[in-house]
Amino acid sequence: MKYTIALILASLASVATAADRPNILWLTSEDNSVDWIGCYGNPHADTPNIDKLATEGVQYMHCYANVPVCAPTRSTWITGVYALSMGTHPMRSRYPIPHDTIKYYPDLLKKAGYYVGNVTKTDYNIGGREDGEAWDTNKVDWSELPQKQPFFMVINSTKSHESSAFGDVNNTTHSPDDVRLAKYHPDIPDIRKNYAHYHDQVKKMDADIGKALADLKKNGLAENTIVVYNSDHGGVMPRSKRFLYDSGTHCPLIIRIPDQFKHLRPAEPGTKLDTLVSFIDMTKTWLSLCGAETPDYLQGKTFLGPHAEPREYHVSFRGRMDERSENARAIRDKKFLYIRNYMPYVPWGQHLNYLWTMKATQAWEQYDKEGKTDAITGAFFQPKAFEEFYDTSVDPDNVNNLAGDPQYAKELARLSKALDAWQLEVFDSGLLPETEVVKRSEECGKTIYEMVRDPALYDVKALQAASALALQHDPANLPTLYKNLDAADAGLRYWAVVGCFHLQGKTPLDLERIRKRLNDDSDHVRVMAAWVLYRAGDKEAAQACWNDLLRSGSYASLEIFNIVDWIGEGIEPYAAAMKACTFSHDGYVGRMQEYLGVTAEDDGQQKKKNRKKNAQ
């Protein structure tokens, strides 16, 4: 009898605990920035369901993605750790992390008694664990959920994904006359039509959001469920997704909290909040709201509820995007945006097979080739600056770079210093080329996350200082650069060569010092040394180096493909070596082979694989 009473009391306690804790319905969409949502100020947007949700909840006006592309964003979300801190920031790379140390947030929610579901987007970009393993279900059964309370359910709409902007842009429901073009886009018919075409797709996404909300209400769950809506990053016209500008990172975030949990509301329904929210904060916040454990390794801040913490800065980052090399960081507050480009020699508008599927991208490039763009609409196809600085309060399209304006020097220095501190705090794993970092990780037998926290294996502070020296473009640094060319750490040698590369044309170089690096232990050092010699006129030595690396399947092969394309002087000297290259880089070398026309004629299977990988 006593045992039976104890069970009843325990059961009642469990029910009371579940009732005291909110369900959370997290509705996500893909690739749409705030610019496509009506309640964020676009008068041409057709998003009635999201707009209505904003009147019922609070609307965050300063929410930003840490990465302007899907997989690294979701890598950050699922762990609560910056992808850049784990080495999972390059697109579709699947590098392992220490799963015994870093748990997925649904693991922690389940431990706290939550039923967790994800319908159906995962794409965590992490090796060593199946994406779906942490979830109880990948389906939503509304009739079952009341018996599973408390629950945490993610429903993702794919309707606004970049691919939905592809295809025929004629005969749209939305009028091409009723679009608000970004200042960096020329006002030409095909771009207007593509905007209209995407507005049609966003309306379909909004309908998905509306259906989920209606189902929630129909099944009697609206009164005890917190609803969150946001996109996974910005987009989707060219120069948005994949780029660190507002167009690629500024995302809608709306949260509706029912009366039962009104003590958690940061403001009255219908309020537009000025709070700065970074995507890294979401994981810790959801765990906090659900009463789950918030481990010390989490790198975000709680932005909602009784344990809310203030945020001064948000940081975004970019590494390789598909087949294209790139490396950049951005830091911002609610007004200013600072971008540091670690590869300023790389043009913004690199041809990316997937992005160039879009009609707007094709039309924009052709318009530029015809010499019809101006300083603003043509900048995308030009070399970029090492530093960029924007006052986003008056320049939301980020077209007026204030980095050289003395009036903003103190603000730029403030953000630059804050970015330096952040890199050290989170152990920035992207201060060397991607495959150089991977090589080190494999050689020491540690995950990238573990390796970058050991200064004997990856000295973040030293690499940060070396990269800063290289990017200063100051001839006075040449003696230090020459000294670092002989450093024991290949990372220091790499940045020394890059520094010499940037000084070409500004001061005479000792090319024999550079030539010695053609036999460096690091393939990336060899690649950059060859480029210095190429620009100095010794094309034969450079081509011989690159071809040798390509034929041997070097881990730096993708970089060589990119450099040859950036140079723009043709692929004939490299065609045979490119065709013979066996290094895959997760299929992205194959994309470059196909783009440059060096795929073997009988390699139909490789072409098929590349086309499949294009369908992200």
611, pLDDT greater than 50: no
373, pLDDT greater than 90: yes
- What tokens appear for 392 in the block? 């986003």
416, pLDDT greater than 50: yes
Cα→Cα distances 340→25, 121, 328, Å:
36, 31, 6
Note the pLDDT tens digit of each residue in 67-97: 999 999 999 999 999 999 999 999 999 999 9
Question: Can you name the residues that pair with 388 across neighbouring β-strands?
Answer: 339
Q: 3-state DSSP call for residue 349?
A: coil
397, pLDDT greater than 50: yes
Note the pLDDT tens digit of each residue in 236-269: 999 999 999 999 999 999 999 999 999 999 999 9
User: Residues 334-348: what's their mean pLDDT?
Assistant: 96
Distance CA 491, CA 479 (A): 17
- H or E element in which residue 276 lies: strand 272-278
Task: Find out whether 249 and 237 touch, Cβ atoms under 8 Å.
Answer: no
**Residue 182's pLDDT is what?**
98
Task: Find out whether 377 and 360 touch, Cβ atoms under 8 Å.
Answer: no
- Number of Cβ atoms within 10 Å of the Cβ of 518: 18
**Residue 599's pLDDT is what?**
85
Tell me the H-state helices in 457-587.
460-470, 478-484, 490-503, 511-516, 523-535, 539-551, 557-567, 575-580
**Residue 10's pLDDT is what?**
38
DSSP conformation letters of 122-154:
----EESS-GGGG-SBSS--TTTGGGG-SEEEE
489 DSSP assignment: S
User: Residues 9-25: what's their mean pLDDT?
Assistant: 61
**Residue 482's pLDDT is what?**
98
Orientation of helix 70-79 relative to helix 280-289, angle to 10°: 40
Note the pLDDT tens digit of each residue in 264-280: 999 999 999 999 999 99
Our CA angle for 405, 411, 413, nearest 5°, is 90
Domains and CATH numbers, the chain: 21-332 (3.40.720.10)
**Residue 596's pLDDT is what?**
97
Q: What is the 3-state secondary structure (H, E, C) of 97-118?
A: CCCCCCCCHHHHHHHCCCEEEE
**Residue 40's pLDDT is what?**
98
From first CA to last CA, the distance across the chain in angstroms is 60
Q: Return mean pLDDT, the chain.
A: 94
129, pLDDT greater than 70: yes
Q: 3-state DSSP call for residue 396?
A: coil
4, pLDDT greater than 80: no
**Residue 383's pLDDT is what?**
87
Tell which residue, 519, 514, 506, has the closest CA to residue 531. Answer: 514
Distance CA 564, CA 352 (A): 15
- Number of Cβ atoms within 10 Å of the Cβ of 421: 12
609, pLDDT greater than 60: no
DSSP conformation letters of 162-180:
GGGG-S--SS-SS-TTS--
Q: For residue 499, give the amino acid letter.
A: G
Orientation of helix 557-567 relative to helix 523-535, angle to 10°: 20
**Residue 19's pLDDT is what?**
64
**Residue 600's pLDDT is what?**
61
- Provide CB contacts within 8 A for 540, sequence distance 6+: none
Provide the percentage of residues in the chain whose pLDDT is more than 70. 94
Task: Find out whether 153 and 225 touch, Cβ atoms under 8 Å.
Answer: no
**Residue 20's pLDDT is what?**
84
Tell which residue, 286, 298, 269, 304, has the closest CA to residue 22. Answer: 286
* Residue 14: pLDDT band with limits 50, 70, 90: very low
Can you list the pairs that 524-529 forms with residues at least 24 positions away whose Cβ atoms lie under 8 Å? Answer: 524/432, 524/433, 524/435, 524/436, 524/490, 524/494, 524/556, 524/559, 525/490, 525/493, 525/494, 525/497, 526/556, 527/556, 527/559, 527/560, 527/563, 528/494, 528/497, 528/498, 528/501, 529/497
Task: Give me the phi and psi of 548, to 5 degrees please.
Answer: -65, -45
User: Residues 208-226: what's their mean pLDDT?
Assistant: 98
Distance CA 79, CA 280 (A): 9
User: Residues 495-517: what's their mean pLDDT?
Assistant: 98
**Residue 15's pLDDT is what?**
37
CA 272 to chain centre: 26
User: Residues 203-219: what's their mean pLDDT?
Assistant: 98
User: Residues 285-297: what's their mean pLDDT?
Assistant: 98
- Number of Cβ atoms within 10 Å of the Cβ of 190: 20
252, with CB counted inside 10 A (0-12, 13-18, 19+), is buried
571, with CB counted inside 10 A (0-12, 13-18, 19+), is middle
